[in-house]
Amino acid sequence: MADPVILLDNLSKTYLVPERDAGVMAAARSLVQRRHRAIKAVDQVSFRVEPGEVVGFLGPNGAGKTTTLKMLSGLLHPTSGTGRVLAYEPWQRQRDFLKVITLVMGQRNQLNWDIPASDSFELNRVIYRVPPAQYQQTLEELVELLELGPLINKPVRNLSLGERMKCEIAAALLHRPQVLFLDEPTIGLDVTAQRRIREFIREYNRRHNATILLTSHYMADVEALCKRIVVIHHGRILFDGPLAELVKRFSPHKTIAVELEHPIESNQYADFGEVVTQDDGRLMLRVPKADTAKVAGRLLAQLPVSDLTIEDPPIEEVIEQVFAQEVES
């Protein structure tokens, strides 16, 4: 196996947040004596990402995702632990390192609002010192893949949110980074625009074998792009592995969908399991994983079943459960 592209070992980040009571007196007091509260945003996180991998980085708001991404891209200095991205220590912020990574933040823009995106692209070309020939080639490729043709010569403020995000992504990729940190790249976009960007990311990864670490609130993004996910909560890693494995491990239930030959009374199926939905002739039941086979057998034997399928619950539900378990424990 090749060397990992990203390697984190016991990485931690603690913020010291000044605590202050309201009021003028308290403000004056805090000038002299400041009280701080330590908040562990990231707590001994370790994982590695291999070349060309697309990894989904999941967690609720405030779980430490963005802090981790910021440390990996060199914006934040960790409190302890080590980290390597392509053999660089990110927070040294060496120029050579900055030239091979990129960070896309769905909620922030780097493009200048008042001028066309192509002008901002030009600025990035100069700053990243991209050779003209390579720049031209990359730009053409990005224009083609993201369908930017009619967009890049319009002032950015005239673009829709989805169009702007496509331009933001293009601006972030002009220097052909090998490592992409994508923080909520599809946030706030409509379903079509989300799909476009998702397809682009997949295609980009395939063409350039780029390594991608992606956070998203949309499970569709994760399901479509990431074979592997890392789940973080309260700064700690809860899970690291294939998506399917997550479902297997964390969902104690399966869903059984039953197609009936004719409608039946509710008291005839109520005791098979938790009824999720039911309308004439269709029935969805949630049952404990261990009992799945037994319940399916009883259903087939006792009810007029025309079709029966056993499914994993939707991924959102599983993730919710993961976070809920953490809270209980």
Partner 1 sequence: MNQLRILWTFFRLGAMNELAYRVNFFTQLFQAVMSLVLSLGGLAVVFNQTDTLAGWRPAELVALVGIYILVGGLINLMIQPSMQRFMEDIRMGTLDFMILKPADAQFLVSVRQVEIWKLIDIIMGLGVLVIALVRLGAQIGMAQALAFGVALLAGATIVYSFWMMLATCAFWFVKTENILVIFQSMYQAGRWPITIYPGWLQMMLTFLVPIAFAVTVPAQALTGRLTNQTLLLAILVATGLFGAARWFWRFGIRYYAGASA
CA-based radius of gyration for the chain: 25
Please pick, from the candidates 20, 34, 35, 129, the single residue that binds partner 1 as defined by CB under 8 A.
Answer: 129
From residue 193, alpha-carbon distances to 45, 186, 210 in Å are: 33, 8, 22
Please tell me whether residue 155 binds partner 1 under the rule CB under 8 A. yes
Q: Which is nearer to partner 1, 22 or 126 (CB)?
A: 126
Q: Which is nearer to partner 1, 26 or 300 (CB)?
A: 26
**Which residues in 70-99 contact partner 1 (CB under 8 A)?**
70, 73-79, 91, 93, 95-96, 98-99
The candidate with the shortest Cα–Cα distance to 1, out of 52, 73, 56, is: 52
Closest distance of CB 21 from partner 1, Å = 19
Q: Which is nearer to partner 1, 99 or 236 (CB)?
A: 99
Closest distance of CB 315 from partner 1, Å = 30
Q: Which is nearer to partner 1, 13 or 198 (CB)?
A: 13
Strand-pair partners of 75: none
Confirm if 230 and 211 have CB atoms less than 8 A apart: no
Please pick, from the candidates 12, 30, 110, 321, the single residue that binds partner 1 as defined by CB under 8 A.
Answer: 110
Closest distance of CB 285 from partner 1, Å = 47
Please tell me whether residue 119 binds partner 1 under the rule CB under 8 A. yes
Q: Is 152 exposed, middle or buried (0-12, 13-18, 19+ CB in 10 A)?
A: buried
Confirm if 202 and 224 have CB atoms less than 8 A apart: yes
Task: State the Cα–Cα distance between residues 201 and 225, nearest whole angstrom.
Answer: 8
Please tell me whether residue 126 binds partner 1 under the rule CB under 8 A. yes
Task: State the Cα–Cα distance between residues 41 and 63, nearest whole angstrom.
Answer: 7
Please tell me whether residue 159 binds partner 1 under the rule CB under 8 A. no
Residues that bind partner 1 (rule: CB under 8 A) add up to a total of: 37
Closest distance of CB 305 from partner 1, Å = 56
In the shown chain, the binding pattern of residues 6 to 35 toward partner 1, with x for contact by CB under 8 A and - for none, equals -------x-xx-------------------
Task: State the Cα–Cα distance between residues 34 and 174, nearest whole angstrom.
Answer: 45
Burial 19-48 (b: 16+ CB within 10 A, else e): eeeeeeeeeeeeeeeeeeeeeebbbebebe
Burial 203-223 (b: 16+ CB within 10 A, else e): ebbeeeebbbbbbbbbbebbe
Contact region with partner 1 (CB under 8 A), list: 42-50, 53-61, 68-76, 210-218 = 68-76
Phi/psi zone of residue 188: left (φ > 0), alpha (ψ -120 to 50 degrees), beta? Answer: left
Closest distance of CB 66 from partner 1, Å = 10
* Placement of tokens 């319940």 in the chain: 295
Q: Which is nearer to partner 1, 73 or 251 (CB)?
A: 73
* Placement of tokens 């269709």 in the chain: 282
Please tell me whether residue 292 binds partner 1 under the rule CB under 8 A. no
* Placement of tokens 């369908």 in the chain: 147
Q: Which positions touch partner 1 (CB under 8 A)?
A: 13, 15-16, 70, 73-79, 91, 93, 95-96, 98-99, 101-103, 105, 108-110, 112, 114-115, 119-120, 122-124, 126-129, 155
